[in-house]
Structure formats: structure tokens, C-alpha cells
Structure 1
Amino acid sequence: MPAVLLTQSIQNDMVAPIGRFDPIPNKLHVGHAEALRLMGENPAEGPVARTMRWAQRQPDAALRLIHIRDWHDPSDPSQRSHLELFGEHCLQHSEGAAFAFPHDPGDKNVAVVDSLTLNDFVGTQLEALLEPHRGQSLRVGLMGVWTEAKISFLAYELRTRYPEFDLAVCSALTASSSRAHHFQALDQLRRLLGVRIIDSVGEFIDFLGSQTGDDAPLVGLSPQLPIIEIADKDGEPATLVLAEVDSTLIRYLFRSCRLVRLRVLDGGFSGNIVCGTHSVDLEGQEQVPHVIKIGDQGEMGRERACFERVQDVLGNNAPSISDFADIGERGAIKYRYASMGGSFSTTLQKSYQAGAPAAEIGRVLDLVFGEQLARFYKAAILESVDLLDHYMFSPRWADKVRARVERILELPAGSPLAAGETLEIRPGVTVANVWRFYAHTLGHLPRRPRDQAYMAWVHGDLNGQNIILDAHGNVWLIDFSHTHRAHVLMDLVKLENDLLFLWTPVADEDELRRGFALIDALLEVRDLAAPLDRAPEAVAASPAMARAWTTLAKLRSFYPPLIHSDRDPFQLWVALLRYAGHTLSFDEAGPLQKLWALYAACRLSARISESLIASTRLRVDFVEPAWAGAGRVGLTLLPGRRDYGRDLGDDLATLRADGIGRVLCMVPRDELERYGVGDLLDAYREAGLTALHLPVVDQKASSVADMDQALAFIDAGVQAGEAVLVHCVGGLGRSGMAVACYLGKQGLDAAEAIARVRGARGPRAVETAVQEDFVRGYLRTQ
């Protein structure tokens, strides 16, 4: 059964190259940037031309080729409204209506469909061309413009008329005037119509089924030039040996050059080749620096698509894609660094390990997180997400984790010591077994099914080797193959993990135990927006550990504007465990570094387990009394909040079991509705609880009159010997403010009252400066 390739409006008026500052020739031209991406710098050698040359070589029995073109007659009254709306374009027999690719079908039977409207089935022979294939599971590929309009409309018609067709769109061979609209349309095609989105030209050709056994031809490739040289790496002999297919890809990407010299850039263990280049063109002129990346064609296609999504956001500190190609099973991308100052000098990891001063490391981190990636993070949105799923935790990894534990602790395979409740990492150092977290906790403990976390576009695989410094100290990012929307802290946490377990040397057992102390101190941080305290004494005594702590403090200084009021460390623990666990298999980490990472993973898994267990039962934290008598005052989060998967009936039963007799609710009604407990006040009364509703806007303070009423309500319960519950949504800010004011009225000063609330509920209680100021001001008037 043949496949079908449908091209959509790949015509000069739509995609012909234009200069960056040239006016758009008509309303439907995709513009300079998208035309360049789609057609290439030389359209005769670009991805569309290469794909067309391949398609025209395929036998008709294997591939039917159908070109859909806009073909307008300005004298036709029926087309007048379309031309008035979009302006004159693709007028029949004009140069603008001509195909923008080499159209030389030879003996191949190529159909051309003249489309007059946005619907390519109206008034055309397209339905008749496809009718013989009705009912068949035909593979149909789409390429052309506009992704959000003509391509999407065509895909919709095909899906509804021929639901059995297997539809695919190649992201590299489609375009719109807006890159954002292009990718949004691709996402919609995948999600709503079930269309395959293929990022690699080679994989798209494979989908269509190459019957000639070849790939899209590398047009312009010279068999001799350029000469490829591999430079020494850091003064040592280069070890890179290029396969023939990789050499071919390099010669194609630098086909206008006489010489290209490669310098290997370290980065990961994926098997990909990443090199900086120094190239000389055919006239002997040096070209601007480039980075080439060669790997699996599917992976390279995904990286190109990921980078294209975010290229405009990153600005001048990111490269541009100069060219790309694939052949066989390999693909390559050529990144241009036009404004780079000199050649590649070093990476952040090498600079840190060479002893760069804290000020220089801080400068680089400011540029990366305060400027470049901050453009992603500023658009973060608070979303419902299961963080354990998000970071790909699953019981299926348990066997691999156990095998890593056995190797690191030098235990025989299958040793029962690796499957116990605890592990003795070192004599006298016993921790919870991270393997049991994977094997048992993940499978048996209920999670908080709808955690909330801020999500944004992230680099996705940030490490010290893909942050590059040029000869002038400018900072550049490479390797965007994992760029996607994710937890906003992902990049920072990934770099923190590498800083500890890859960059920081662990010379001996004493240093290892100082590393354990560093992890212990980090686990005591309960407020992610608070600056890190001074390094603990054991950490400060080691220059390497103290330096790591200083750098960690810098990394965490970027947290507050990213997480806003979401300061709970649970999100950090989950992310750190993901990367610490991954480090256990890294070749780059030394034996003591892996022991350090194992210790961290075990401690983190225990904290996460404790948090998950605590989340299943409503926890009321009672403050230490500042009054005589049996009455008690406690704080908790919003009972029954649906975004945490809580059950209001269960939470009310817990309150009764804790002896709660009266409840002060400080949550406005619109927030109660938002969290799925609009009937909470009625539920309190039906459960026999005395309830007072004094709403306060989140993060804000109450009025003095409302606070007077709230404290009178609390005091009445305390004097009667009751247990009084005060809550807002998180049980921290508004409720903490009220309880601190009550403690102050019992004789504590403001600082003591706030400290006592935080001692019971955690350091984030009395959450904002506005609330702290209210407590101080209110108590001054009492």
C-alpha cells in the first residue's frame, strides 16, 4: 500500500526567502525567520528541497505525491472575498504562485490541486484523488504552511473524512508567521486530532517508507572538502574518532568551507558528539564560531524542535540554528554563535573545578539564572501537578536502585543488606534505605494527588558542561534537547546536585562525613524563600565543602521570585532525590561522591515518606500555651481541600478525635469555593463545632476590629477548657498571625509570640512581612 505526501502552499508568495528588514510581500508570507527555517539559507539545498528530491525519486506504487497550491483568479467573483481578506497572493501563472522548491517530477505522476479557499476539498479534485484509499490504513504526511491554518484545516478534514488514515506532520517542514503559533498548532494537532508530530526529516521519510533505500540527498556535498581536523583537548591528544556518516554530516554542514577544526566539548554520557568549531571558508576567511551536535536522528530532531520553541525568548545569549541534516540513523545540528567573543574558552564546571573565585562563579550564575533563563521563569504559572510523577518516580526503578546500592556499598548481588529497612553507609552512619522508598513507599503510600507547583519552560538538563564561557568571559548555553515546560526549580536543583556530587571533591573519609553534615543541614531548611544560614561548623572547616555551601546559597537566592508563596521544601526534596538517585549511576562521580549522593538520597527519601504519611491525616499543631488552664490553640491547613485530595468527612472526624470544639476560619468564601469546600461552615455546624468566619485576603492582614473579635472567640474557648482550631488555607500566614496576636495578649512580646507559633507550625508561619508588621503593631496598642 503506498503512502501519500501532501504539500501545502509551498509557493513563492508564501515562503520565498526575504531579507531580515525587507517588507513582507503580502499578508500570507511567513516572514524572514520562518522562511529561513523552512527553506534554509540556500533554498536549493534546504530541507524542503531535499525532501522533494527524495519524494520525486520514489516509485508511484510506493509514494503518491500531491501538491496543494493556492491558485487565484482576481477576476473570479467567487474568489473576491478571499482576496480582499488576505490580499492578492498566488495569482495564477504568476511567479508568486510558482512552487518554491525544485519541481522536476520526471516520470513520476505528481498531482497538483488548485485550492481557491481555506478548505482544500471544496471545488477541487482532492477528494477524488484520495477516494481509492478510503477504508485503508494509509500513511499520509503533511508539510507546508500555515501550520495553524491551512495545515490544521487540512488535517481536520482528513481526520473526519478518513478516520483510518495515519496522519503525520513534520515540524521541520511546516511553518507559520509566528513560531509560537506554529508550535501551539502542532500541540493541538497532536492532542485533538491524534496526528503524529515528527521532528526529524529523516524520521518523516522513514514514516512515509523510503523504497529506494536512501535518504533525502545532501545537496551541495563535496566528497573532498572541507578537510576535518580534530584539535587537542586541554593540551592532551584528541581521542574523538568520527564514523563515516558523522564525517559526511560535518562536511555537509560546512560545505562552503575548505577547513573545519573541531574541539570536543564535554557534556554528559549520552554518546552524542558535541564540538566547538573553527572554520575557514573557500575564500580563506574565518567564519564565526559554531557548535555542532551529532547524535540519533530522532533525538536531534527533538532537540531542534525544542530549541526553536524557545529561541526567541533566550535572545542574544543563545545560538541560532544555522543548518541541520540527517542521514542514515544519525542527525546533526549546526549552532551559530555570531556574537561570541573569540573561541570557546571553558565551561562553568571546569572553571569551578579550577578554583575560580566565588565572585566569578556568582557572576556566571547571575547571567544564567538572573537574565538568560529568567526569561523562561518569569512566566511561571502555579499548576496542579503530582511532583512524584513529574520527576518520573516509579516502583519499576526499584531493582535498578538496589543494584546501584549494592555496587556502591560493595555488596554481593542479591545481598539482604541492600533490602533492609536501613543502610549502614559508613560505620556508625545508618540511614533509611532508599531502595525501600522505591519498592514499597511509592507502591503503597497515598500521594498528595494534586500538589501545586510553579511550572515554566526550563532548560531541562542544565549542567556545568553546557554553560560555556568564551574568551571574553561571555556566557552561553548549549544543549536544549530536554527543553520543556516543567517544575520551575528543575534547572537550579539539577545544577545544585551536580555542584555537590560531581564538582566538589571528596578526598577522604573525613571529607565525606563533612558532606553528610552538609546534607543534614540542608534538610533542616523549611522555608525555601529564606536565605541559607552560615555553613555549619563541620562544613565550614573544609574549604571544598564551605565553597560548595557558598555556591549553594547563591543558587538558592534565585528561588524567592520563582516560587512566590509556595515555600514548602517538599518540592525541593522530590527534585533533589530524583537527581541524587540518578547520580548513583554516573561514571563521572567518584566512589566517595557516590557514597555522598547515596546518603543524600536515603535522607531525602525518608523526609518525603514522612511528608506523604503526614499528608494522609489532617495534622493540627498546638502552640505551647502562654496561659493557665486546660484550653489549647492549634493551627492546620484548610480541612477537606480538594486540590490536596483531602476528604472533608475524614478531616472532620480527625478534628473531633483531637478534641476540637470550636473553629476560627479565616478563608474568604471565594477561596473556599476555589478549594472545593464551599459548604465548610455548614459542615462545621453539622459536626457540632462552634465556628466563626472572619475572612482575610491571602497574604494580607485583618482589620483591628476583626482581630479583636477573633481573639475574643479564641479566648472564650480557652477559658472553657476547649481545644480551639485556627486555620486559613495553608495554616501558616493568616492563622499564624491570629495565634501570634493571641499569644501576645497573654503576655508575650511580638518576637516571642511569632517564634512560638513558628516553633509549633514551622518557620514559614506568620508568612509575610505585612502579617509580621500587623502582629507588632497590634500588640503595641494592647
Structure 2
Amino acid sequence: MLPAILITQCLQNDFVKPLGRYDPLPNNLHVGFEEARRLLGENPAEGPVALTMQWAYQQPASELAIIHIRDWHDPADPFQAEHLRQFGPHCLMETEGAQFAFAESDSARPLAVINSTGLNDFVGTPLDEALTPFAGQPLRVGLMGVWTEAKITFLAYDLRTRYPHFHLAVCSALTASSSRAHHFMALGQLSRLLGVTVFPSIGEFTQFLAGSSVEIPLPAPSHAHWPEINLSEGGPLEETDYNLIRHLFRDCRQVQLRVLDGGFSGNVVLGSESVDLHGHRQAAHVVKIGPQGPIGQERTAFEQVESVLGNNAPRIAAFADSGGRGALKYRYAGMGSGFSTTFQKLYCAGLSAERTANYLTIIFKEQLGRFYAAAALERCNLLDYYAFSPKWAANVRQRIETLLGEPAVEATLRLPTGHDMPNLCHFYEQELEAILPLAGGSSYFSYVHGDLNGANIIIDGRDNVWLIDFFHTHYGHALKDLIKLENDLLYIFTPINSAEELAEACQLTHCLLRVADLGRPLPEVESTPLTHPELRRAYQTVGMLRAFYPELVQEDRNPLQLLIGQLRYAVHTLSFDESNRWQKLWALYTAAWAGFSLSQRLRQQGPLRIDWLDDQYTGPGRLGLTLLPGRQDYGRSVAEDVAALKAQGVSHVVCLITDDELVTYGVETLLDSYRQAGLTTRRLPIPDQRVCSPAEMAELNEWLQTNLAAGANILVHCVGGLGRSGLVAGCYLKTKGLDAAAAIAEVRRVRSPRAIETAAQEGFIEGYICPPPTPPKGGRA
């Protein structure tokens, strides 16, 4: 039985011939400069397609059949006229444009060439005849070529429906389209809808076809003794890594390398300075080498976001696989001469606060800010997103007991400093399963780097800032990069080498865990008990990172999302090679208290909670605040929440949300539900983050006072129960004799430090003039 078939699709000059950056497209179907270069490489004779085809031609025909499908058009054929009219003249038979874009085999190896004249390669061609003998057989079938969203997808659909036993696969590096976005969208559709396996690396694709580990020989450098490779620091390179570097710099006579990062997950990151065969100094590059699969995934992830980052991102100048290892050669458009270093090395060497702030602004505003600008509120469970699961309990226990040097049995554990902390093992073993369903809600999502740390922020000789390592880039929690870098800043960058330093670090933990509003800056370091210079510096740098939060979280200022991220990465730190024992103990202390706080907060989010103002201001009635009952993005139920209000004695409701918000949060039936439940309802729609008019507030306050005097229990709500609800409560308290500052403080004490969210709302309360009291009317409205 034939094990595998390789089918190429439209790998012809009119589709993929290399072009200059500003050359006009030869026709309407050419994929363009960028995609042609990605597919064929800077030197097409040694690029991805050429190397793959050279390997394929060397395989026995009994092991790998090769079928080339090509567009082949006769302009004189009336049946092809409409196709050529729609797409323009292309691949006209016997023309250069119709020729293959790779070197054809000069051997007598059998292969099939299918001339296709339309979008369906089975219509009017012998393709079905060529494949029919293999019907019902579980062959491995690999596809490569263009266009991913059209010809490749159409072919995969036909193969899946006609030959359901075939195992289909493509490689992202060996397929292309005129739009990078459409290319990756199509790959996703191929995987989800047609069950096509998508390989990120060529090595994995050829291994799939061969059914075993295979090796595509790398082209030898043009000179036997060049390039001369020198490594300025670190141990000698493994032979496979050395050969990959020789291949990537095969046009050079000399390469000087410096280790920027390495040793973790089998990866090594190198900065390079090179001299070409003619003695010219080349632009600086960064080379990353690691396991073949993850390196291929990093290349795929980076290609999806490359156009968004623009000149702030590197370019993949070349990539290669060999011996189970993969390598990426990143070129940076403006990287200065001289060796590059990393943000982590600079920070640990005493980087000034001014330069630190400058680098962070470049990273999170100018570079990753391009991702964050498109952030959208998404329904999600952040515990699921950050991969929390009770299945990790045994692993967490093992690391904690190893770190402490004793069994973690009691409910409270103790650090060598004498500081007590909740037993984090119990959180994973007993608590996590119960609170997982309670973490549903909404948070802002955007594309994120995904694994931002100080070692993959590169600073070049001209002080330019560059990012590398896009393996984890994805659409995710918008704060993820900031939370991850903060974690590394604390437990890797900040030196902790004694019990005394750890004791003060624990104080820093509580300063950060006390944050209640992500929209507000951290208090000044002078207001903290911190005295150790490095801990004060760490606190101030965290403040720089937190300063980027307000724009990202917008109105979603609940610190719960930060707490989940802090816990996730603090626990991860327990496995870090870079952190010493003192730093890991600090991370454990933070994780333990973060887990305790997280559990408490989530358990409070069960039945709808009302925060009531003190009776001294409202009696004989009561005035309370809460979030929007039944909001669907939090997984709540209108019926259950209205029932909870009734159970807590609510008789009147003030609804401050707009009609649009009733729809946005899925509570279109809320007002009817209030009435059906017998709740007297008053509406004052105020746009989010805004205020109403003084006259409207005065009228509402008169209504509140009248009904409270009659013993009503009144609920005020907006969406989060913080901004607009706090505005109403603050103005009401001013009618009871409190000044603006005291009224605002009282609302925040009762409801949340985040209540009364905007300067406009604070200013309205400060300027609100209470109207003279009106005589009681003696009854409810």
C-alpha cells in the first residue's frame, strides 16, 4: 500500500514568482512580494519550497507519490473565457507564468501533473482517476501551495468528501495567500471544519509524509571553512545548533555571537554581528534556536501579528529545521551596531527609573499598545483562561514541600521569617474546584505577547527596544503581559537574599494585594513601610506597569482579574530556575494570600449582594447599592436575582442604566420582572461614566427621601453598582449633612474603593447643592 501522497497546488510563476518590493503584480492572482518571499525564501533555490521538493523527489515512488496541480489555461477555449475574465489572464499554457516556481526533477521518477482550468480541480481533469485506486485507504496526504483560502481549501474539501479515509495535512510555511490574515483564517477553518492537520514546521510536515523522523539536508555554505563562528560567552553550541547557524549565515565569512538568553525549555537566544563574503558588515540579527515544533509554532504565531506591529517588530529573515531542532533568524529594521542586551540584564545592573519608564512606555504604548488598542470586552472565566485546575494540586504540593523542607499539613504555614500564610496546597486540593464555576464574567481581551519577560525584551546599541519570542502570542486577557512582567520583576529581578529582606518583601506583597481599584495609581512609595532600596525600587517600577492599566481595563476596574493573574504566575515561579530560595518563598507567600483573597471574593459573588448605607442616614427605610441584576456577561439570571432582591426585603428600585445597556447586558426583561415582582421602579438613565443634571438629581433625591421616610427599602443600581450608583448615593448623603469628601468616603467604605469612578462624578458631588427640604408627604410614591 502506498503510504503517502504530496499534492502541490498552483506553485507557478504567475502565483508566486519572486518580486521586488515595489514591482507591480503580474496578474490578479499573484500572492505579492511578502508572501512570495515567505514561501520561496530570499534565495528561491534554497527556500522552503525548494528544499521540500528536493526532499520529496529523493523519496522512492513506492513510499511517496507526487501530484502537481497547475493552472493551465487556453485563451482560445470558450469554456475558460469567463474564468479568465474574472481573474485576468494567468498561467496561459506554455508561457513562463505557467511554469513551476521550483526546479523540476530531472530523474525518471514517476509523478502526475494535473492541468486544472477552474476552481474545482476534479472537474475536467484526471485527478479523480489518479486518486481512485487509493479510495478507502488511510493514506497520509500533504498539500502545499496557494491560495490557502481558495484553491487549497477547495481541494481539501473535495478530498475530505470524496476520500474520507485520507489523513490530510498542510504546513503553514508551505502555503500562502495574498493576505496574511486570510491565510491564517483559512488554516483555522481547514483545521476546525475539515479536520486537516496544520503543521507549523516543515520538519513536522515531512515527518508526517514519511511516517517517521526524516532529515532535509541543509544546503552547504559556499565556502568550506566559512562562516567562522565565534561565541563570546556561554558553553559550546551543540552540533545541530552549530549547523543551523552555519546555514542561516551561509552568505557570511564571519559571525560573532553573544548569548542573550538560554537554557530554559531547550531554547537559546543569540545576538549576532556578521560580515558577508565581500567583507561588508551586515545588519544585526537575533537568532533563536529550540525544539523544532515550538520554533515552528513561534514562527506561525509571529506571522499572524507581524503586520500589526509594523516597524516595531523584527522580520523573520530566514528559518530552518534540522535534527529535530528549529532556528529563526530575526532581522530588526533599525537595530543599532554593537551588541544588544536585554531589559532584564539592564534592570538588574541598576537601570535608572527614568530609563526604565522610557523602555516600558515604548513596549506597552508604542509596540504592544497596537494590540491593546483593539481590546474588546469578552465573556470569559479567567480561572479557566489562566489554566487553573485541581489536577495540578499534587505538583503544587510537591514544590511547596520541597521549598519549605517539611510536609505542608496544617491550614497555616510559616515562613522562616515567622510570617504565617494560608496553606496553598489546600487551595488547590479543596477550594479550587468549588470556586472555578464562580469566576465567570467579562474582561477585556486583545492580542497579547503571551510570555513577556525581561529576557525577550532586547535593547540594541542605539537604545532601541525590540521584542522577541512570540511563541505564546494569542488573543487573550489584555493585562496578561503586564501581570507576567510584574511577576518576573518581583521574583527574579529583585534580589532577596536573607530573612530580613524576605520579611520586608512580605510587606510589599500586602501593599500590592490591598489594591482595590485598577483605575487608580499605586500610592506613593513614601506611604508604604518599605525601606530596602531594591524593594522600594520594585514597588515604584510596579507602579509604572500599573499606570498602563486604566486604558486597558476601561470601566472593568475590578482587581479580581489581577488577583487571578498574580496567583497564576506566583505559583509558576516556584518552578523557576532563575529564582533563588528566598525569592521563591516570597512568591509562595504572595500566592498563598492571593489564593485566600481570591476565594473570599469569589464566594461573595454568589447570590446578589446589596451593600446598604448605614441606617443613621436612611431610617426608617434602607438605601442599598448593587450591580445590574441578571447581567448575562456574568452568567447571572434575572429571575434568580429579582427573587434575591425580594428575599432581602427590597421594595423599590432605582434603575440608572440606558436602554442600550438593557440590550447589551441581556436584561431586556428586567423592568417587566421588577413590576411583576411588585417592586416600585424609578428610572433615571445616565450614560456610563457620566452624570445627570442637577435638577434630575434633586428630583430623585426628593423621591428617595419621601420613600425612605415611609420605610421603603430602596435599591440603586447601574451596571457595576459603582459609578452612577455611587453618584446617587453620594448626593443623597449630602442631603443628610455630610460634606462632599465625607459623602464620597462613606460610599466607598460601604460599597467599594472603586465607587464613584470618574472625576466628573466626584466633581458633581462636590458641586451638588442640596435643595431645601420639602415637607413629608406621608406616603410612598
TM range (shorter): over 0.9
What per-residue deviation string (whole Å, max 9, x for no partner) do you get for residues 447-475 of structure 1?
Answer: 33532111111111111111111122111
Greater shift, 598-607 or 469-478, is seen at 469-478
| 1:323 Cα deviation from its structure 2 partner | 0.9
| Deviations, residues 667-716 of structure 1 (Å, cap 9, x unaligned) | 23442233233222232233332222333222222344543443233223
The equivalent of 1:630 in structure 2 is 620
Q: State the match for 1:390 in structure 2.
A: 385
Residue 675 (structure 1) aligns with: 665
1:686 maps to which of 659, 669, 676: 676
Q: Is residue 714 of structure 1 aligned with residue 704 of structure 2?
A: yes
Kept in 2: contact 1:168–1:195 (CA 8 A): yes
Deviates further, 436-445 or 384-393: 436-445
Matched with 1:51 is: 52
Q: Which residue of structure 2 lines up, in the alignment, with residue 5 of structure 1?
A: 6
1:218 aligns to what SS in structure 2?
A: coil
Distance in 1, matches of 2:134 and 2:702, equals 79
Report % sequence identity. 54
Per mean C-alpha deviation after superposition, the further-off stretch among 443-452 and 329-338 is 443-452
1:460 maps to what in 2? 450
Which residue does the alignment assign to 2:161?
160
Cα shift readout 1:128-155 (whole Å, capped 9, x = no counterpart): 2222222222221111111111112222
CA contact (8 A) 2:417 2:500 kept: no
| Cα distance, 1:20–1:119 mapped onto 2, change above 3 Å | same
Helix, strand or coil: the match of 1:385? strand
After TM superposition, give the deviation of residue 493 of structure 1 in Å. Answer: 0.8
Distance 1:563 1:398 in 2: 31
> Which residue does the alignment assign to 1:116?
117
3-state DSSP class of the match of 1:361? helix
Amino acid at match of 1:481: F
Secondary structure in 1 matching 2:607: coil
Looking at structure 2, the residues matched to 173 and 91 of structure 1 have their Cα atoms a distance apart, in angstroms, of: 24
The equivalent position to 2:295 in structure 1, one of 295, 300, 322, is 300
SS at match of 1:627: helix
Displacement of 1:80? 1.3
TM-fit CA distance, 1:442: 1.6
The separation in 1 between residues aligned to 2:396 and 2:506, in whole angstroms, is: 20
Cα deviations across residues 116-138 of structure 1 (Å, max 9, x unaligned)? 11111211111222222222222
Query: What secondary structure does 1:279 align onto?
Result: strand
Query: What TM-score do the two structures reach when normalised by structure 2?
Result: 0.95
- Alignment equivalent of 1:609, drawn from 599, 602, 610: 599
2:105 aligned partner: 104
How much does 1:47 deviate? Answer: 0.6
Q: CA deviation at 1:591?
A: 1.2
What is the SS of the residue equivalent to 2:107? coil
Q: Which residue does 1:193 correspond to in 2? A: 194
Q: Secondary structure at the match of 1:468?
A: strand
Asked if the contact 1:377/1:562 (under 8 Å) is kept, the reply is: yes
How far apart, in 1, do the equivalents of 2:214 and 2:665 lie?
58
2:65 is paired with a residue whose SS is: strand
Which residue of the partner structure matches residue 535 of structure 2? Answer: 545
Secondary structure of the equivalent of 1:545?
helix
552-561 vs 750-759, which moves further: 750-759
Q: Shift in Å at residue 753 of structure 1?
A: 1.7
Tell me the secondary structure at the aligned position of residue 440 of structure 1: helix
- 1:31-70 counterparts in 2 under 5 A? 31-70=32-71
Conserved? CA contact 1:750–1:779, under 8 Å? no
SS at match of 1:88: coil
1:372 aligns with 2:367: yes
Which residue, 730, 733, 739 being the options, matches 2:720? 730
Preserved contact between residue 446 and residue 616 of structure 1 (Cα < 8 Å): no
- Report if the CA contact (8 A) 2:438-2:603 is conserved: no
- Tell me by how many angstroms 1:257 deviates: 1.7
Aligned partners of 2:215, 2:19: CA distance in 1, in Å?
29
Aligned partners of 2:617 and 2:280: how far apart in 1? 84
Q: How many pairs does the alignment contain?
A: 771
2-side partners of 1:419 and 1:151: how far apart? 58
Secondary structure of 1:314's match? Answer: helix
Partner of 1:250: 245
Instruction: Indicate the residue corresponding to 1:144 in structure 2.
Output: 145
> Distance in 1 between the 2:640 and 2:151 partners?
53
Q: Distance in 2 between matches of 1:24 and 1:504?
A: 54
Matched, 1:504 2:494: yes
Is the Cα–Cα contact under 8 Å of residues 447 and 612 in structure 1 kept in the other structure?
A: no
* Candidates 551, 562, 571, aligned match of 1:572: 562
Partner of 2:413: 423
Give unpaired runs (5+ residues) of structure 1: none
- 1:556 matched to 2:511: no
**1:173-194: CA deviation from partner (whole Å, max 9, x where unpaired):** 0111111221121122222222
Describe the SS at the equivalent of 1:515: helix
- How far apart in 2 are the matches of 1:701 and 1:151? 55
Q: Deviations over 1:156-188 (max 9, x none)?
A: 222222233221111000111111221121122
Q: How does 1:145-544 map to 2 (within 5 A)?
A: 145-209=146-210, 214-221=214-221, 224-233=224-233, 238-239=234-235, 241-267=236-262, 269-411=264-406, 415=407, 418-426=408-416, 428-448=418-438, 450-535=440-525, 539-544=529-534
Distance 1:122 1:449, change over 3 A: farther
Note if contact 1:661-1:724 (Cα within 8 Å) is conserved in structure 2.
yes
Shift of 1:764: 1.6
Distance 2:495 2:417 in 1: 21
**Distance in 1 separating the partners of 2:161 and 2:764:** 62
Judged with a 3 Å threshold, the aligned counterparts in structure 2 of structure 1 residues 677 and 119 are, in CA distance, closer, same or farther, namely: same
Structure 1 position 330, deviation (Å): 1.1
How far residue 268 of structure 1 moved from its aligned partner, in angstroms, is 6.3
| Residues 539/139 of structure 1: CA separation in 2 closer, same or farther (3 Å cut) | farther
Find the aligned partners of 2:638 and 2:136 in 1 and give their Cα distance. Answer: 52
Query: Within 5 Å, which residues of 2 pair with 1:56-95?
Result: 56-95=57-96
| 2:144–2:175 contact (8 Å) kept in structure 1 | yes
CA shift for structure 1 position 338: 4.1
Moved more, 21-30 or 259-268: 259-268
Q: Is the 8 A contact 2:717 2:725 kept in 1?
A: yes
Name the SS of the counterpart of 2:651 in structure 1.
strand
In structure 2, distance between residues paired with 1:650 and 1:122 = 59
The answer as to whether partners of 1:626 and 1:747 remain within 8 angstroms in 2 is: no
Aligned partners of 2:728 and 2:755: how far apart in 1? 11
How far off its partner does 1:9 sit?
0.4
Instruction: Give the alignment partner of residue 666 of structure 1, picking from 640, 646, 656.
Output: 656
Equivalent residues of 2:284, 2:336 under 8 A apart: no
- Conserved in 2, the CA contact under 8 Å of 1:448 and 1:644? no
Post-superposition offset of 1:226:
2.6
The letter of the residue matching 2:287 is I
Does the CA-based 8 Å contact 1:387-1:574 persist in structure 2?
yes
2:647 is aligned with what amino acid? A
Pick which of 250-259 and 10-19 moved more.
250-259
Q: Separation in 2 of the partners of 1:635 and 1:538?
A: 32
Q: 2:115–2:125: 8 Å Cα contact kept in structure 1?
A: yes
Q: Secondary structure at the match of 1:451?
A: strand
Which amino acid in the other structure matches residue 302 of structure 2?
Answer: F
1:749 partnered with 2:739: yes
1:632/1:267 Cα in 2 relative to 1: closer, same or farther (>3 Å)?
Answer: farther
SS in structure 2 opposite 1:59? coil
Distance 1:523 1:214, change over 3 A: closer
**Structure 1 position 597 matched with structure 2 position 590:** no
Tell whether the 8 Å contact from 2:622 to 2:713 is kept in structure 1 after alignment. yes
User: Which amino acid counterpart does residue 59 of structure 1 have in structure 2?
Assistant: P
Residue 16 (structure 1) shift: 0.8
Task: Tell me the distance in 2 between the aligned counterparts of 1:385 and 1:425.
Answer: 35
Query: Which residue matches 1:20?
Result: 21
Distance in 2 (alpha carbons) for counterparts of 1:225 and 1:170: 34
Report the alpha carbon displacement of residue 628 of structure 1 after superposing the two structures with TM: 6.3
CA-CA distance at 1:570 after TM superposition:
0.7
RMSD: 1.9
